[in-house]
Amino acid sequence: MSSGTYNAKSITVLEGLEAVRRRPGMYIGGVDKTGLHHLLWEIVDNAVDEVMNGHASRITVTLHADGKTISVADNGRGIPVDAHPKTGTSALEVIFTTLHAGGKFDNDAYKVAGGLHGVGASVVNALSKSLVVEVRRDGLAHEQRYRRGKPLGPVERGEPVRGTGTTVTFTPDTDIFQDLSYDTSLIAERLEVKTYLNKGLVIAFVDQKNKTSVEFRHDGGVADFLDSVNAQRADQRVATPFVLEREDEVSGLRCHLALAWTEATDEDVRSFVNTIPTRDGGTHELGLLGAVGTAVSRFMETHDLVKKGLEIKREDIREGLTAVLAVCVREPQFQGQTKGRLNNPEVKAQVESLARPALENFLLKNKSVGDAIVARVIQSARAREASRAAATQVRRKTPISGRLNLPGKLADCDSGNPDHSELFIVEGDSAGGSAKQGRDRDFQAILPLKGKVLNAEQAGKAKVLDNKELTDIASAVGCGVDEPYDPARLRYGKIILLTDADSDGHHIATLLLTFFYRHMPGLLADGRIFLACPPLYKVTWGQDTSWASDDAARDRILAKLPKNAKPNVTRFKGLGEMPAKLLYETTLDPARRRLLRVMVPSDDRPYTERTMSDLMGKEPEARFKFIMEEAYTAKDIDI
């Protein structure tokens, strides 16, 4: 505990762009390779905003010979250089030195834009060792130079020039970034995507370091993009793609959509908002998926294509779907400055209202296309009901092989040896999706749960048997509820509870342990139940990355760093926020993960029985007493 005095002098006020340099992770997500490239995306997105609003048609990105300096030039209107009425300084200087300053806060200068918070240009300036802005406007050239966010002088007026536009040249600061090496293939890929999303736009990428150059232009728009995606995936297409380009007259939302069904067993939706890639989806994706599900279902009902006894679910309709969705929204609400997810609630209905009737009409006018899609959907439904993964269980050497009614949402593994297979019981469909994509399907099965399960301590046996989530667990594991424990009936050698590393996740894990303790105690006695330990924090410093499962572990990691270190600390909101690859590396990979085995020793049974009854039972008095006696031990409470 600090012995210093805490008063008004203890409060630090960061002036200008100092906050950006002190906490860069808040603005660019980190100071690793992702953060380095984010600087370029911010400047490119500003140039693309000019394109989207009809003021530019060409962008040139140049990686200079030193491999560290990058220039972005456009033929747009040019950033204003006249004096700002409020500050009295050039508008150019205001934009590059002031957070939340820009032309994107009203609809006069930009109807739609990817840059919304007015921090992109100033953040890049703050995190650059040097930055030069050249503006061609009103027949004259203008230039201003900066160093680590501070202007080296006023805007200088140069010689007369033709045309208009802006060129930004910057060199990231080595005091902030440990490695200034760019991924040129990633840059080229990202720039080409911009040309798919803006018909007629030409983007040139000049790599002076490697002496190469390439120019991108795709007049086919998202339809060309979809063709490229499917070609890369090498999945055979089922039917002719559906393409839509339409604007909602009321909201002004523009929707460009191309989708097709393939023979693949997954869905691949690439979504964008104002040309910004939304890797984590959002309300626009939800609107699209809702439109697809409803349109295909109505087509099947209209033509009486639903087979009797076969239940068609939305997941069957979406299996094999590949889509490119690009929307332009006037006032988008992104999740954070890195803009990974769209949060506007109204966009879901807007996208659905544009896409659903158009897709329905397309299917009705092209019945052969609709029939091919429906055949694909029925194939998926039949495979799900038979459980494509569970079909491999015919090879399992257990007495109950082929007789289990496996849960439909179980993503089973291929291994036929229970001693080498694992079942992950995962909190939520979102986390379940990441786990399914990241797992090793040879021996890892995934069973997602929907929310918090029934408290088995307060429910009778009849209610437990009537609860679908709990009976799904029993069916997947292979041991019946309240039946004598027989290891030979197990379908998996390890049952691993995978929940978020927060209070809700701990509560769900506790409810599951209560169920196993009361109704499948043999699993605990045999040491078959484990708790996964997903990270709550990611701590990066330079090239080093560490993971912490709680606050104490995070503090221990930070304490080991040098005093002058500027680590980037990221707190995961939940397993569903983690990319599949990252979830595997930190939590699923047997070589790197950490598991806690849960057991109840026979000599500890009375204490466990009392604890379970007190904390999970119907009577609240015991819990009240426990809280009153132990409250002093609580330091940080996650509410």
DSSP for 512-581, please give it.
HHHHHHHH-HHHHHTT-EEEE---SEEEEETTEEEEESSHHHHHHHHHHS-TT---EEEE-S-GGGS-HH
Alpha helices by DSSP H, listed for 234-366, are 283-302, 314-318, 345-365
Parallel/antiparallel/unpaired status of strands 268-273 and 568-571: unpaired
Q: How far is residue 54 from each of residues 47, 112, 216, 272, 280, measured CA to CA in Å?
A: 11, 11, 18, 19, 28
Report the C-alpha gap between 5 and 25 in whole angstroms.
29
268, 504, 585, 589: which one is catalytic? 504
Backbone angles phi and psi of 430, in degrees to 5:
-65, -50
Known catalytic residue at 502: yes
Local structure of 47: helix, strand or coil: helix
Report the C-alpha gap between 586 and 117 in whole angstroms.
33
Known catalytic residue at 500: yes
Q: How far is residue 213 from each of residues 61, 72, 205, 210, measured CA to CA in Å?
A: 10, 14, 6, 9
489 closest CA partner among 501, 499, 476:
476
91 closest CA partner among 77, 109, 79, 106:
79
143, 502, 550, 589: which one is catalytic? 502
285, 352, 472, 500: which one is catalytic? 500
Alpha helices by DSSP H, listed for 584-631, are 605-616, 621-630
Report the C-alpha gap between 55 and 44 in whole angstroms.
15
Report the C-alpha gap between 251 and 112 in whole angstroms.
12
Report the C-alpha gap between 610 and 616 in whole angstroms.
10
207, 427, 469, 577: which one is catalytic? 427
Catalytic residues: 427, 500, 502, 504
